Chain A
Amino acid sequence: MRGLRRAVVAVAIGGVIAGIVRLRGTDATPPQQGGWRELEGQDLT
């Protein structure tokens, strides 16, 4: 019985940790070159 209780607690703790990791994620690396430029002037004539 005690073993079963320990297993349930272990699975529950593992699930909580997995959930936190999944929701937080990791920071992404932004593009290292280039950028956005609005269409204007010659682009729109």
Chain B
Amino acid sequence: MTLPDGRGRVAVVGAGIVGARTVRELIGPGADGQPTNDGVVLVSRREDRLRELSPIYGSRVSTVRADALPALPDDVGVVVVAREQGAQVAVVEDAVRQGRHVVVVGDDPDDVEALLALSGAARDAGVALVVGVAMAPGLSCVLARHSAAQLDSVDEVHVARDGVAGPACARQRLRALRGGAVDWRDGAYVRRPGFSGRELCWFPDPVGARDCFRASLADPYLLVPAFPGVTRVTSRLAASRRDRALAPLPVLLPPPAEGGPGALRVEVRGEVAGGKETIVHGVFDRPGIVASALAAVVATDVVVGLPPGASGLAAVHDTVPLLAELARRGVRAARFHGGS
């Protein structure tokens, strides 16, 4: 594929909150002030949405209305898939078949498992398939890897997330809280009920303390293969007691166009020089902004450096340039220093 030396174009499939923001990130300049690609092709099923977005983006973005992945021009090296849960796998299969690197934004565990199963097809096609590129999983995997680089060994990874991106993400959050969770414990996946395991997690200010619960999340499926020997991996979602009480009832109100500010917390426990060490990183930002900035940076800077096959972002070994580019785009990770 043509990125990064020849640049080439990037296709974005899906024009929701994250897809539209990813296009905006892609048409902005890189750290050197130069374009990071030769243009963007935005693919959506919604004609009205494309008409709304097209004049905002200008001439560097071409739009295509299509239900499935259309036959893309040869200079499209990377496809970013930002469709809702359940509508991603077929598009990814087409993109891999066309021989293009793929970046998939999403956090549904069933989708993530199905996409990881495409690893063989991606290897055969000689392309990288990056799965779970969002706030969590996604930035959570990057921060876990960043912490792991400061440890001799990793024993435990615990992820907690607060907030949602767009309406599809809000629906997915509710499904996750109602569904069954999966924890990694002592070498095996253990099924737990959703909304169990309440834990008070401290996120970066101004979010602060939130009750977090087990939910049907994809982080363990991406973190466990990346850290051989890890004994515990858990993932939780922040929710209020009101959410918990009302969860079994039908939702009568539609989700908002975009969720409010959210946050992420990644706690990694391991050993350094024979002693126990805990490293906590976090982020405060809108999940839609985090996911779109990460998808854009991965599509232009990271994906071609990954080996062929499917993986999450914990497979990225040098996290510093990625975190620096995210910080330049306004997504600033933080580390917790001091006591508990």
- Within the assembled complex, what's the spacing in Å between the Cα atoms of A36 and B334? 6
Let me know if A3 is at the binding interface, CB within 8 A. no
The one of B200, B320, B337, B340 that contacts A37, using a Cβ cutoff of 8 Å: B337
Counting CB contacts under 8 A, is B249 at the interface? no
- Is A10 interfacial (CB-CB < 8 Å)? no
CA distance A7 to B78 in the complex (A): 67
Is the beta-carbon distance between B202 and A23 smaller than 8 angstroms?
A: no
Which residues from 4 to 35 on chain A have a C-beta closer than 8 Å to any C-beta of chain B?
19, 22-25, 28, 30-35
B330 to chain A, nearest CB (A): 12
Query: Counting CB contacts under 8 A, is B212 at the interface?
Result: no
Are B337 and A30 in contact, with the CB atoms below 8 A?
Answer: no
Q: Are A34 and B209 in contact (CB under 8 A)?
A: no
Instruction: Confirm or deny: B327 has a beta carbon within 8 angstroms of a beta carbon on chain A.
Output: yes
**Residues on the B chain within 8 Å of A45, using CB:** 320, 324
- Does B245 have its Cβ within 8 Å of any Cβ on chain A? yes
Instruction: Please tell me if B336 contacts chain A, counting CB pairs below 8 Å.
Output: yes
A-contacting residues, B318-340, CB 8 Å? 320, 323-324, 327, 332-340
Is A44 at the interface (CB under 8 A from chain B)? yes
Is the pair A36, B339 in contact by a Cβ cutoff of 8 Å?
Answer: no
How many B residues face the partner with a CB closer than 8 A? Answer: 25
User: Is residue B242 contacting chain A, with contact meaning CB distance below 8 A?
Assistant: yes
Distance from B338 Cβ to chain A, minimum over Cβ atoms (Å)? 2
B142 CB to closest chain A CB, in angstroms?
A: 11
Of residues A30, A36, A45, which shows the largest number of chain B Cβ atoms within 10 Å of its Cβ?
Answer: A36
- Cα A23 to Cα B245 with chains together (Å): 8
B51 contacts partner chain A, Cβ-Cβ < 8 Å? no
Interface contact B339-A23, CB-CB below 8 Å: no
Measured between beta carbons, the chain B residues less than 8 angstroms from A37 are 334-335, 337
- Is B320 touching A36 in the complex (CB atoms < 8 A)? no
Which secondary structure dominates where chain B touches chain A? mixed
Residues of A within 8 A of B320 (CB): 43-45
Which chain B residues in 198-214 approach chain A with CB under 8 Å? 200, 202, 204-205, 208-209, 211
Given contacts A22-B245, A28-B200, contact A33 B339 (CB under 8 A): yes
Asked if B202 and A38 sit within 8 Å, CB to CB, the answer is no
One digit per residue, 1 when the CB lies within 8 angstroms of any chain A CB and 0 when it does not, for chain B 304-316 equals 0000000000000
Contact flag A31-B340 (CB < 8 Å), given A37-B334, A39-B333? yes
Q: Are B335 and A39 in contact (CB under 8 A)?
A: yes
Are the CB atoms of A22 and B241 closer together than 8 Å? yes
Q: Does B138 count as interface, using CB distance less than 8 angstroms?
A: no
Residues A28 and B209 in contact, CB atoms below 8 Å apart: yes
The answer to whether A31 touches B241, judged by C-beta atoms less than 8 angstroms apart, is no
The answer to whether residues A31 and B338 also contact, given A23-B242, A23-B245, A39-B332 and a CB cut-off of 8 A, is: yes
CB of B337 within 8 A of CB of A19, answer no
* CB-based contact A40/B327 at 8 Å: yes
Q: Which residues of A contact B337 (CB under 8 A)?
A: 34-37
Scan B8-40; emit 1 where CB is below 8 A from any A CB, else 0: 000000000000000000000000000000000
Chain B residues proximal to chain A, CB less than 8 Å: 200, 202, 204-205, 208-209, 211, 241-242, 245, 281-282, 320, 323-324, 327, 332-340
Pull 8 A–B residue pairs with CB atoms less than 8 Å apart, ordered by A.
A24-B241, A28-B200, A28-B209, A31-B202, A36-B334, A37-B334, A38-B332, A39-B281
Given contact pairs A23-B241, A30-B208, A31-B340, enumerate 9 new A-B contacts (beta carbons under 8 Å).
Answer: A22-B241, A28-B200, A34-B339, A36-B205, A36-B334, A37-B337, A39-B281, A39-B332, A45-B320
